[in-house]
Every structure is written in structure tokens, then in C-alpha cells.
Amino acid sequence: MRLPWSARRTRAARTRDLDDEVSAHLRMAAADRVAGGESPEDAAANARREFGNVALVKEVTREIWGGLWLEQLGQDIRFGLRALRRSRGFAALAVLCLTLGIGANAAVYSWIEGILLRPYALVADEDRLRILAGAIRGEAGAAAVSWPDFVDLRRNATLIDAFVADKITGTTLSIGNRAERAAGQIVSANYFDAIGVRPILGRGFLPDEESGRNAHPVVVISYRMWKERFGGDPTILGKTQLLNGLRHTIVGVAPEGFNGTFVGYAMAFWVPVSMQEKFDLGGYKLEDRGARWVESFVRLKPGVTPEQAQRELSAIGDRLAAAYPAMNKGRSVQLYPVWRSPFDGAGTLYPTLRIALLVSLFVLLIACANVSNLLLVRSVARRQEMTVRIALGAGRLRLTRQMVAEGLILSALATAGGLLLAHWCRNLLVLVLPSAGVAFNLPATIDWRVLVLCLGACLLTTLLCGLVPSIPTKRIHLASAIKSDAAGVVGGRGRSRARSGLVVLQVALSFVLVVGVGLLVKSLQGMRTASPGFSTDDVLISAIDLNSAGYDSLRQTAFQDELLERTRAIGGVQSVAYARIPPFSYRTYSSAPMVIEEYQPAPDEQPAADFDEVSPDYFATVGIALSSGREFRRQDDNTAPPVAVVNDAMAARYWPGADPIGRYFQAKGRRMQVVGVARTARYQSLLETPKPFYYVPLRQNPAGLVILVARTRVGAGPFAVALAREMHALDLGIAPAEVITMREQVNRQSVSQTAALALFGVYGGLALLLASIGLYGLMSYAVTQSRRELGLRMALGARTRDVVRLVLANGLALTAGGLLLGGAGALGWTRSFGDLLYRVSPLDPEAFGAALVVLTLVSVIASLLPAWRAARTDPVRALRG
């Protein structure tokens, strides 16, 4: 059986056959006319005339074959490549502008993908994960849950596939003269099975390793720790590692690339919840329903919506509140998407990345407007070419497709460059954020989803850069094609309206971005100079970890007392104290339900407050003034009655109008007497609202991991050397952790603002650069096209400064239009900055005024060179040309 003719022939062969068939038809028609008595020349001409347009017949025939659009696309792309090769400078500038725009978007896409949407490398089915947190009715924010509540939720929920506990912790590893903290997680026994991560060596945790008080000292270490600390030893299983003073048996090694389930830090190890007391502050909590320390997430069952799961968990939470009113009254549970996690860097960086996505789109639009303007100018220069093509039969649609094909070439090259740029910038956030003593892990993820979004950006730029320049071709009239089409500096505004509109758009978007930068600069400056309620610049802090050295409670107390005396003797040191947790730490304070004597809570109210454990002289050292009462004394130890110092906010809430000194309250089974009232400070963030807080004596509950706080005139470097010397004099195996100022400690909590400012600064700079290029290009082109007009003006008596003023006025007129449009946009857009600004109004006049000045200066600079060129115009040569 013979295949059909269309299946046996290639398109080239079919085209040759078509040419042969048309030629044969014309020869036979001419032969018939010659036989009828016509001359060969007349016969050939008449045969062609009778046949019609040969090219059109071939075109119609190829359309019948199908696939003509693909052939024409190939022709358009080949023609576009040749055209761009003839204009290498233009092509390079256009590709550079688009690369910056698409690269900026690709970088933000990759950060959103790797930090917010799919932050947990190697974890299966991340779209079914939800963060589980506690909530207090009537109060904003989220909290951890207690282990007994976690167990009850896990036991009673039917729509949840798995409940997973994953509390961040750490241990100290001594390296030379200083100690470094290694981040880890306290996890439920099902941790590795629930997230679908299989250790490459050994196993995860067994179900019975979840119970018992410090009964299962086993650990799974990270691949990086296995390689760096153990040299990739294949026989590592069964060996031990000292963690917080206790030998832990290594039972598994996590796969390469798995960094745990905490956005921000790469985990070095994982221990089961049975070891909570060794790794979490505040004693044994697995049987304490009031100790809220479990940070967890759940995996929904297939087909279950978050709303359905939330309703079920809320119902269980209500039953727990009714069953345990002393601990759970007024409390509920709440599910959050991973990208809104209140426990890690995802929730912290969400406001920044949310706005950065819009900012990157602005930069892309500015880049597209810039390239569209370049193409518009180029299309005017090619007007004669387009006129000829129309005269030869090319349709307007075909010319538009040609422009789109050239835009596709530019955007495809820029997309490749943008992805490469995003790959280079994948760790940019880590570089701009303040160090927190533990290595950041904020990886960008360039996967197929990012590639799809970049493909969408490519198509968007193709349309914007292809369709806009094709507009002039629709207004080409053959009868007037020979007339001049140039637009002057002041004349021909209608014909240059598209180019001017694109410049106005660039200026407007740039103004919005620069206003954002100004707001963030002012906000961050305010945060860096604000008082958090305690001293910052003259106070140094460092961690002292005796747990990891294996000290018991008696040796810990003796070591800490001796170190305090030695540190006080260091030159320049004024006072020294200890605290369990320093202000603005990445660790969370302990919290417990309270019973306030003589205070009657509301029906749904459960009094609770965070607290810290501090040593004598703490308030004087950190600079927190006392409103009344006294500080802790050395005698306030575990043999003395429990006492507490409350802050002003707690005193005002629970003892309104009364003196709290001498009053009592109960927490964690202890009845404490208030002996002092301290000024309310900020404890975790400058953005937090004043809240009740209290302090208890560290000597009444000794701890092996403490923070040494020193008020001193000595710098951090010399003090670190002196502190290490004194510690080594007591024990050569112990070294202090990083020594920093309290100001640096506070600054480390401004992660969102720092990241936002860095991103806005980079993207705002790109926007200004692109906008200035666009304005310069437009004004330069206008001057070039107006040589005759400028020559005529100068011949009629216009002076140099008149010409300069004319060009500058035109550039500033475009800028003014952009500023008006951008000002209107900024008034609405900056309102979304609320959660990033510190004591700065989104409508701050200084930020708007600074942006106005910056854009005006950029516009003047961009217009000066074309104005200078215009002033040097030779009237005689211009009029002759």
C-alpha cells in the first residue's frame, strides 16, 4: 500500500513540486497561445496575467497544506536575528535591560518558592502541611502548645494524617578560644517517617523513644555534621557525641540537603522529645499542661481542606479548655499555612517577600517600557522599510508578527540571562541579613514552577516589547510615506505620545519604589536608634554553656560565681550579671498560667505572662530602672522564699491603682512574692506592644546555659579575649560564645526591615537606572530628529541657554507627569508597608519629598547630555541637512 503523497514528501520537496507544477502550467498555457498565433513574449505575459499572482497562489496552496504559520514564524525569527545582528548595540542594551527585569523577578520567585511555599528540602507533600499553634481568645499572635495538649490533639483528631513536634534547640561546640552554637531540633518520634525523609545511614526514632524523662539519649545527625565533624565515617552508627553534657548515641545520618523543618537555620542534629529537659529551658515539661513549648505542624489527610481540619481542631481545643480550665481557659488552637509560620523565618520574611514580589514586577514593567521605547525609536527609523514591505503586499498583521518575533528573541535571551542572574543571587538574603550567631539557611529554589513563572515573564515581555512598537505600522499610509515623520522637541507631540507615555510610566514606577526605600530607611534608622527600654551600646553579652561540658548543678553554680568575680575584675567592667535568656533572642521566654491573688479574671481569661530568670545586679547591668522595690539579692537562692520582680505593664493590669510590692501570685506551682517593679521594656521585638512580664531569681532555679551580661567601656573584641582567658583559667575545655553588643542583639531582630531595605535599595537602584536610560534615550532621539528645527531656532536668534532650557523643560515635563502618576500610586501602595514600618507613617512627607528630589535630579542629569548636544547644533549644517 502506498502512503499518501503528503505523508511521503517533506515540505521542501512539496514546495519544489509546487514550483515545478506552476511553471509547467504557465509553459503549457503559453504554448497554447503560441499555437493560437501569439508571439512567445506576448503568450508568456498573457499566460501570467491570466494565471494571476503566482506568489499569492503559492501562499494559498501552502495554507491548504497547513503549518504555514510555523514556517512564517521561522522566517520571522531568522529575519529578526539578522536585523538584531545588524544593530548589536541596540540588541545588547535591550537584552541587558530585560535581563535585569526578568532576573529581579526570577530571584524573588525563587526566594518565595524556597522560603515560603516549599521551604523544607526533601520533605514530601509540602502542600498538605500546616503549622499548629496555640491562641488566646481576644489576643493577637500565636504561641506554642503544651506536650499534654499536643498528645490529646493527636489522639482525638481524625482528619489529620500526622502530628509532628519540632522545637528548635541547640548545643555548644567548643572551637579554640570560643564556642559555637549548633542548631538542632527536639522532635516527636514519628518525625522522619511523617515527613518522608529516610536517613542514609541508620534509622530515625522509635515510638518508645518519645516517652520517659531523659530516658533515650539518641541522636540523628545531619549529613553536614557527619562530613565535617566525623569525616564521613561509614561506621558512625553506635558512636557517641556529647550534647548538652550527656553522651548521645548516634543512630542515624540524615540525607544530604535535608536541613530540618525550621526556616532560617540549618539543623545539625535531632533528638527525641524524651530528651526535652536536657535541651529546653525551664525543666521537665512533658507532663506539664501549662508549659507551652511545642512548636509543631500537621499533615492533612488527602482530600481534607484546611477549613475542615481547623473546625475539628477547634472543637477538640474547646473540649480541652472545658476539661482543664486551670490551664486552658480561654485558649484554642489555630492552623497556619507554612508561609505564615509564627515560629520561624517564614512568618518573619513573609511581609518583605510579599512586597518584593510587587516591587520586582515594577522593575520588570520599567525594563519592558524601556525596551519598548527603544523599539519604538527603532521602528520609526525603519519606517521606510515597513512602507516598502507594505507596498510589496505584506499585511499589517505580518508586520506585527515580525515585531513580536523580534521581541520574543530579546525576551528569550533575557530570560536565560535572568535565570542565570537569579542563580547567582540565590544567597543574597543571607548576605544582607544580620548574623544571629548561627549560620542562616535561606535557600532559593529554582524549580519547574519558577521556570514556568519566568516563561510567563518572557511571554509578557514579548507582548509588551513586540506589540507596542508595532503600533506605528498601523498608521503608515503609502501616499504620505515620503513625508517627514520626525517628531521635534516641541512639535509632533501626537506622534511621540507612545514614547513619552512609556517614559512617564517608568518615572512613575521609579517614584513609587524610591518612596518605599525612603520609608524603610527612615524606619530602620528609627529602629537602630530607638531605646528598647534598656541600655544597648555599652552592654556586651555572651553565652556560657556548662551543660555541654557535663557540669552538675553544684559545679555550675560554683563556676558561674567564680566567673562573675573574675569578670568584674577585668579593666573597664562596671557590673556583670546572668540571665537565662537575653532580650531580643531567637529563643522564646518561658511562660506559665498564673493565679493572681486578689484578682478576679474574666470568664474566658487565663492570666499568663512570659518570664526570665536573672541574677543579682541584672537590672543595673542592662539599664532597666526600677519603679519601686528592690533588685534580687545573693540571698534569693533555692533556700529562700520565691520572689519576683514584675514590670509596670503587669502591675497595671493585675494590681490597678494599688502597690504590688508584697503581693503574691502563683505560677508553675510556686507562690511568689513581688519584691520589685521594673520599667516595661521591649523583650522580643521593637514592634511588640507593651505586655506583662516578670523576672525570677536565677539562683532559685540554677541553669547550666546562661547569658553573661556585662556593662563595660571595653570593646567586644578585647572583652572576648579577656573573658576567654578567665574561663580557661577555670576550665580549659570551656570557651565563651560570640561576644556582641546589646545593640547588635537588638538589630538582629530587625530581619524583615533589613531584608526589605536591601531588596528595595537594589531594585530601586535598578529602577532609577532604567528610568534614566529611558529618559536619556527619548531626549537624545528627540534632539537627533529635531536638528532642522533646532537649527532654524538658532538661526532666528535662539541662544544656547534657550536651547538647553527647551530640552530640559521637555524632559522635566515628562518627569512631572511621572511624578504626579507615581505620587497617586505611592499614596495607595505604601499603606501595605504597615507591618514593616517602625514609628513611620506610610504617608511620611520626608520620604515623598526625598523621592521627588532624587527623581528630579536623575531627570536633569539624564536630560543634560542631550541638551548639551542640542546647544552645539550648527544652524547652517542642520538647515542644509
Span 278-302, pLDDT tens digits: 888 777 899 988 888 999 999 999 9
Q: Which of 796, 808, 785 is nearest to 875 (CA)?
A: 796
Other CB atoms within a 10 A radius of the CB of residue 537 amount to 9
- Asked whether the beta carbons of 599 and 609 are under 8 A apart, the reply is no
The whole-angstrom separation of Cα 141 and Cα 341 is: 11
Work out whether the CA dihedral 11, 12, 17, 22 comes out positive or negative: positive
pLDDT at 642 over 60: yes
How large is the average pLDDT for residues 407-432? 82
pLDDT at 819 over 50: yes
Span 173-230, pLDDT tens digits: 755 555 677 889 999 999 999 999 999 999 999 999 999 998 999 999 999 999 988 9
How large is the average pLDDT for residues 688-710? 91
How large is the average pLDDT for residues 11-19? 69
DSSP state of 655: S
Mean pLDDT of the chain: 82
- Block residue for cell numbers 531595605: 757
pLDDT at 862 over 90: no
Span 594-641, pLDDT tens digits: 999 888 888 778 888 999 999 999 999 999 999 999 999 999 988 899
Beta bridge partners of 242: 247
Question: In which band, very low, low, confident or very high, does the pLDDT at 41 lie, cut at 50, 70 and 90?
Answer: confident
Other CB atoms within a 10 A radius of the CB of residue 625 amount to 11
Question: In which band, very low, low, confident or very high, does the pLDDT at 237 lie, cut at 50, 70 and 90?
Answer: very high
Angle between helices 54-65 and 11-35 (to 10 degrees): 140
Question: In which band, very low, low, confident or very high, does the pLDDT at 4 lie, cut at 50, 70 and 90?
Answer: very low
Angle (CA) 359 365 367, round 5°: 105
Q: What is the pLDDT of residue 407?
A: 77
- Asked whether the beta carbons of 705 and 544 are under 8 A apart, the reply is yes
Span 576-593, pLDDT tens digits: 999 999 998 877 788 888
Higher pLDDT: 523 or 219? It is 219
Spacing of C-alpha 779 from chain mean position: 36
Task: Give 303-342 as a DSSP string.
Answer: T--HHHHHHHHHHHHHHHHHH-HHHHTTEEEEEE-GGG-S
* 617 SS3 class: coil
- Block residue for cell numbers 509532628: 164
Task: Tell me the chain's radius of gyration from C-alpha atoms.
Answer: 37
The amino acid at 878: A
- Asked whether the beta carbons of 446 and 419 are under 8 A apart, the reply is yes
Q: Which of 103, 100, 106 is nearest to 770 (CA)?
A: 100
- Asked whether the beta carbons of 168 and 159 are under 8 A apart, the reply is no
- Asked whether the beta carbons of 590 and 283 are under 8 A apart, the reply is no
- Block residue for cell numbers 545573693: 634
Distances (CA, A) of 288 to 194, 574, 595, 644, 788: 25, 40, 16, 21, 89
The whole-angstrom separation of Cα 542 and Cα 521 is: 29
Q: What is the pLDDT of residue 31?
A: 82
Distances (CA, A) of 201 to 207, 208, 256, 555: 19, 20, 11, 37
pLDDT at 393 over 70: no
Quick one: three-class SS letters along 193-261? HHHCCCCCEECCCCHHHHCCCCCCCEEEECHHHHHHHHCCCCCCCCCEEEECCEEEEEEEECCCCCCCC
Distances (CA, A) of 500 to 479, 505, 507: 27, 9, 11
Residue 155 phi, psi dihedral angles, 5° rounding = -75, -35
Span 124-164, pLDDT tens digits: 999 999 999 998 876 767 888 999 999 999 999 999 999 99
Span 455-498, pLDDT tens digits: 888 887 777 766 666 555 555 554 444 444 444 444 444 446 77
The whole-angstrom separation of Cα 468 and Cα 351 is: 34
Q: Which of 350, 324, 307 is nearest to 152 (CA)?
A: 324
Buried b (16+ CB within 10 A) or exposed e, 857-878: ebbeebbbebbebbbebebeeb
The whole-angstrom separation of Cα 718 and Cα 44 is: 102
Q: What is the pLDDT of residue 619?
A: 96
- Asked whether the beta carbons of 416 and 458 are under 8 A apart, the reply is no
Buried b (16+ CB within 10 A) or exposed e, 388-421: ebbeeeeeeeebbbbbbbbbbbbbbbbbebbbeb
Counting residues of the chain whose pLDDT is more than 90, the rounded percentage is 31
- Asked whether the beta carbons of 489 and 782 are under 8 A apart, the reply is yes
pLDDT at 6 over 50: no
The whole-angstrom separation of Cα 141 and Cα 313 is: 18
pLDDT at 25 over 70: yes
Beta bridge partners of 644: 674
Q: What is the pLDDT of residue 224?
A: 92
pLDDT at 718 over 50: yes
- Asked whether the beta carbons of 383 and 121 are under 8 A apart, the reply is no
Domain ranges (residues) in the chain: 5-66, 138-329, 348-481+494-528+750-880, 550-732
- Asked whether the beta carbons of 505 and 686 are under 8 A apart, the reply is no
Distances (CA, A) of 366 to 528, 697, 764: 33, 59, 11
Other CB atoms within a 10 A radius of the CB of residue 3 amount to 8
Question: In which band, very low, low, confident or very high, does the pLDDT at 317 lie, cut at 50, 70 and 90?
Answer: very high
Counting residues of the chain whose pLDDT is more than 70, the rounded percentage is 83
Q: Which of 637, 641, 650 is nearest to 610 (CA)?
A: 650
Higher pLDDT: 444 or 594? It is 594
pTM as predicted: 0.77
Task: Give 809-838 as a DSSP string.
Answer: HHHHHHHHHHHHHHHHHHHHHGGGGGGG-S
Q: What is the pLDDT of residue 492?
A: 44
Work out whether the CA dihedral 600, 606, 612, 614 comes out positive or negative: positive
Span 327-365, pLDDT tens digits: 888 888 999 999 889 888 888 888 888 888 888 888 888
pLDDT at 307 over 90: yes
Q: Which of 411, 363, 525, 490 is nearest to 850 (CA)?
A: 525
Higher pLDDT: 779 or 122? It is 122
Higher pLDDT: 6 or 827? It is 827
Q: What is the pLDDT of residue 192?
A: 96
The amino acid at 296: S
